[in-house]
Structure 1
Amino acid sequence: MTSETSLFPALRGTDADRPALRFGDRALTYAELAARTAALAARLAGHARVAVWATAELETAVAVTAVLEAGVAAVPLNPKSGQKELGHILNDSAPTLVLAAPGAELPPPLADLPRLDVETDRAVDAAATAPAPEPRVSAEDPALVVYTSGTTGPPKGAVLPRRAITSTLDALADAWEWTGDDVLVHGLPLFHVHGLVLGTLGPLRRGGSVRHLGRFSTEGVARELTSGATMLFGVPTMYHRVAGALADDPGLVRALSGARLLVSGSAALPVHDHERITAATGRRVVERYGMTETLMNTSVRADGEARAGTVGVPLPGVELRLVEEDGSAIPGHDGETVGEIQVRGPNLFTEYLNRPDATAAAFTSDGWFRTGDMAVRESDGYVRIVGRKATDLIKSGGYKIGAGEIENALLEHPAVREAAVTGEPDADLGERVVAWIVPADPQSPPSAAELADHVAARLAPHKRPRVVHWLDVLPRNDMGKIMKRALRA
């Protein structure tokens, strides 16, 4: 087996007592993790795909590591999935076994599958247990089948090969100067690539350790960052809570000030929250850009400029271009021309499981993946995402407008707590800009005219919202992304 597909060399290393995983007060060293994954991997021989009931527990991390050590593909399942969605995923991926924590109650139809409990608390003689033998697999063999959110139909299973995981994690190690000395803290779900691949497999590949909070809290972040953790991964809703707590929590300020790296992803972090965190701690949050099908595409580098509102430059090995609606490449980087992001490189998935039609439609004839994300590139190559092609690109009065920049402008208004922007049909303009606002004070919301003037003064008159709706809360998914289709509905 080549070093490319050896996902976790630290499991066969000499620093056996080094901490590997900690979930709350439950932890495993590398020797203990190696022993448990070896025992579990031995029982997975002969399986092609294995489902993992991906709760935010130690058992999930052990299960996925063991599946990959066995050379099998893991299908992480969201414990919050409804019965219809879960049934679709099981029918589509056809796992022959499900791994779960002992005592976990599995819903139908998952309960009909053969089950194997993942034992992590039972004593194991780690010194007497050899690591799992390296599986006979290639870089192209499937490692994970991760299901997309299904916003345009039933969820599709993106097949991620082993080389996509290794190339992404090694590229991030280069960009973030990520080493085995780092200790990562996060509270992300483990059925998604952010929390699972980056947040769990990433530290294990480096030989470092991960501390999972179970449930995210600013108190947990402060505790871990002041007791040895060096990195924090989060999504914008988490950093928004952090930013809001800093004024009244000097301990949290000290904790973030001492962190080596703060990383946000899965959606754009509003500039206002960037600025609040930097003002209080002197630290900037690094943003990166990726998706299920591509893992990570770009990032602000640890030794680069953490420019608010951008997601940095392409990672080593990743090619990125912007294209017009007709597919022609946009020449140069002017910081203004909006185009769709297309990428290619070793970080990409191989196919949508059982969907050759969807797979073919996702790629251009010359092998570029159509992300559906719209962006501009600065003269130095930095990428600034303005939104999704399907939900965030607004064509109004002959202009292509990205919802993201309007949202950032609205969030700078002191009377706005949360903001989302969409487009709706307009007989004169083609589309008009619509703002959905959660006011800071529900009893005294800002007027539509006030918000329109606020945006026009910061951006341009044609980007001002023409319609404003006030809400108590914005609909969000498990990763904190605003569900704009729900707003329109």
Structure 2
Amino acid sequence: MSALFPALDARSLAVPSDRPALRCGTDTLTYAELARAAGSLAVRIGGADRVAVWATPSAHTAVAVVAALLAGVPAVPLNPRTGERELAHILGDSAPGLVLAGPGDVLPAGLAGLPRIDVELTPADGSAAAEAVTEPVAEPDDDESPALIVYTSGTTGPPKGVVLSRRAISASLDALADAWAWTGDDVLVHALPLFHVHGLILGILGPLRRGGEVRHLGAFSVEGVARELGAGGGTMLFGVPTMYHRIADALAGDPRLGDALAGARLLVSGSAALPVHDHERITAATGRTVVERYGMTETLMNTSVVPGSGPRPGTVGTPLAGVGLRLVDEDGSVLGGYDGETVGEVQVRGPNLFSGYLNRPDATAEAFDDGWFRTGDMAVREADGSVRLVGRKATDLIKSGGYKIGAGEIENALLDHPGVLEAAVTGEPDPDLGERIVAWVVPTDAAKPPAEAELTEHVAGLLAPHKRPRVVRYLDALPRNDMGKILKKALPVPLSTGDGRA
């Protein structure tokens, strides 16, 4: 019985071999076809130290990663949009011996020196892939062996390679299965990138581990979501806040979309906080609540809202099975009690944690505190133990007037104003307060932005006077990465325009 994918073991009767396993665009593979394609490729790459995977949103990427896991060869997913310098760093650091890509993929010059293997979805008789395997491939039985090396975004320096073991992947997926009642009967729909843990591990490996089906849209569209959750019979949807915002915008004019969402068993949002306003619009139109969960590359999944527990906008739920979570003050003391107000850094431990940073023992040691991983995320805990994230320690903890304030809760308050489309909050030096709160706002109507006083009073009324922005700057758009996260370090240097516009 295979460690990660029981349904791909030819000796297993857990899943019929003719059941669909994955569909990406026009490409569809049953479990038997996936086992043949991935098994054939696994034999061809067996013995390699590492392989790079050109991670397009395609069935070829899914087959390539599954093949590497079957072969016990660590895979390095490559973001096709990575720039020349960053790609060179990743290749130099991880030193893959091969690159796996779809037959039609055009690779950048930086990959020219690596031997290339084109991933075949249906190996033709007589091809190298078809001839490579005659017996089912047996997965490695060492749970601690590296499975994936996923590179961080590099916001605080060159990207670091996060080494994820088979143990971490299986533990995290099984904890989610327990929390979400995720089974082989589920059909997951998503359009997330396949070079990141959200789209690849949760969105591809998760359904395959359960023996279920995954349908990747290739590119996100509201129409695709409605189709696959409606007539397509999808039961689960994974997305990021940008996707759910577009869904919420479209609901008023698309009854078919509302019906499709209402028929889904589970709607999950992650990678960033989903604004309360979008939670409310989706629930009002469909009767469904969007479940938020919290994880990161180094830890995989840490917490989740329990489906059916009622609307919990603003929280990411309670720790998953096997995950230890604590909040730690700046002086290193562990915060006790759940008062919903005291801010501390989230630290976690458990079988879901990564093995370390590739070639960076110094960074690995620095990341841990007596076995607890320092996430750098700041949070409070509600009375029931739910975690409410308020920002990142490096960029989102604002010390103003003697208070420690999380930028995230102010951003959610701003997004609750109908005149605000997008919002980011930062701190900047202030001679009186230490730091003053600065709001960066994209207005719903650029021609009629809400007045600064209106926004500051709105926040003060929802939260507290000391949490109101002291400065409001208006933008046409906020800088974001591929997963929709706001890049605060890319916000423009403010100009003295006199009208608050940067």
TM-score, normalised via structure 1 length: 0.97
Counterpart AA for 1:66 = A
Query: 1:229 is matched with which residue?
Result: 234
* 2:106 is the alignment partner of 1:105: yes
Distance verdict in 2 for CA 1:281–1:136, change over 3 Å: closer
Secondary structure at 1:330 match in 2: coil
Quick one: distance in 2 between partners of 1:195 and 1:389? 25
Given the alignment of the two structures, is residue 291 of structure 1 paired with residue 310 of structure 2, yes or no? no
3-state DSSP of counterpart to 1:109:
helix
Matched, 1:178 2:182: yes
Q: Output the CA distance in 1 between the equivalents of 2:125 and 2:378.
A: 51
Pairwise CA distance, 1:179? 0.1
Q: Which residue of 2 aligns with 1:10?
A: 7
- Determine the C-alpha separation between the residues in 1 that align with 2:454 and 2:306: 38
Residue correspondences, number: 484
- The answer to whether structure 1 residue 480 and structure 2 residue 484 are counterparts is yes
Letter in 1 for 2:378: M
Aligned partner letter, 1:180:
G
1:375 corresponds, among 348, 361, 379, to 379
CA contact (8 A) 1:234 1:265 kept: yes
Which residue of the partner structure matches residue 393 of structure 1?
Answer: 397
Contact in 2 for aligned 1:269/1:309 (Cα 8 Å): yes
Measure, in 2, the Cα distance between the counterparts of 1:370 and 1:487: 26
% identical equivalent positions:
73
Structure 1 residue aligned with 2:207: 203
Displacement of 1:445 in angstroms is 0.7
Of residues 184, 192, 196, the one that matches 1:192 is 196
Tell me, in whole angstroms, the C-alpha distance in 1 between the residues paired with 2:94 and 2:466. Answer: 47
Gaps of 5+ in 1: none
Name which of structure 1's ranges 443-452 and 148-157 shifts more when overlaid on structure 2: 443-452
In structure 1, C-alpha distance between the alignment counterparts of 2:482 and 2:34, rounded to whole Å: 28
Q: CA deviation at 1:129?
A: 7.0
- Whether the 8 Å CA contact 1:143–1:161 is kept in 2: the answer is yes
Query: Do the aligned residues in 2 keep the contact of 1:50 with 1:99 (CA within 8 Å)?
Result: yes
Residues in 1 aligned to 2:118 and 2:421: alpha-carbon distance in whole angstroms = 44
Q: Which residue of 2 aligns with 1:262?
A: 267
The answer to whether the 8 Å contact 1:344/1:369 transfers is yes
1:354 corresponds in structure 2 to 359
Matching residue of 1:406: 410
Conserved? CA contact 2:3–2:140, under 8 Å: no
The one-letter code of the counterpart of 2:469 is: P
Shift of 1:111: 1.7
Provide closer, same or farther for how the CA distance between residues 235 and 281 of structure 1 changes in structure 2, counting only shifts above 3 A. same
Identify which of 148, 167, 170 aligns with 1:144. Answer: 148
Q: Deviations over 1:187-224 (max 9, x none)?
A: 00000000000000000000001000000000000000
Give me the whole-angstrom Cα distance separating, in 1, the residues matched to 2:91 and 2:282: 42
Supply the AA of the counterpart residue of 1:421.
V
Q: In 2, distance between residues paired with 1:223 and 1:130?
A: 39
User: For each residue in 1:374-403, what CA deviation from the matched residue of structure 2 results, as whole angstroms up to 9, or x when unmatched?
Assistant: 001111111100111111111100111111
1:59-458, aligned counterparts within 5 Å? 59-123=60-124, 132-226=136-230, 227-364=232-369, 366-458=370-462
Could you list the runs of 5+ residues in structure 2 that have no partner in the other structure? 494-502
Q: Per the alignment, in what secondary structure is the counterpart of residue 76 of structure 1?
A: strand
Query: How far does residue 132 in structure 1 lie from its aligned partner after superposition?
Result: 3.5
Aligned 8 A contact 1:184 1:211 in 2: yes
SS of 2:167 mapped into structure 1: helix
Secondary structure at the aligned position of 2:398 is classed as strand
What is the alpha-carbon distance in structure 1 between the residues aligned to residue 317 and residue 177 of structure 2?
15
Whether contact under 8 Å (1:343, 1:370) holds in the other structure is: yes
1:27/1:131 CA distance change after superposition, 3 Å? farther
**In 1: Cα distance, 2:236 partner to 2:445 partner:** 34
Q: 1:135 deviation in Å?
A: 3.1
Partner SS for 1:43? helix
> Which of 136-145 and 167-176 deviates more?
136-145
Aligned to 1:375, what secondary structure does the other structure show? strand
SS in 1 for 2:47: coil
Aligned residue for 1:52? 53
Name the SS of the counterpart of 1:16 in structure 2: coil
Give the alignment's TM-score, normalised by structure 2: 0.94
Report the aligned-residue RMSD: 1.5
The answer to whether the Cα contact below 8 Å between 1:262 and 1:285 also exists between their aligned partners in 2 is yes
Give me the whole-angstrom Cα distance separating, in 2, the residues matched to 1:358 and 1:314. 25
Secondary structure of 1:179's aligned partner: coil
Does the CA-based 8 Å contact 1:38-1:130 persist in structure 2?
Answer: no
Is the Cα–Cα contact under 8 Å of residues 386 and 403 in structure 1 kept in the other structure? yes
Following superposition, which runs of at least 4 residues in structure 1 exceed 4 angstroms of deviation? 121-126, 128-131
Cα distance, 1:305 vs. partner?
A: 3.4
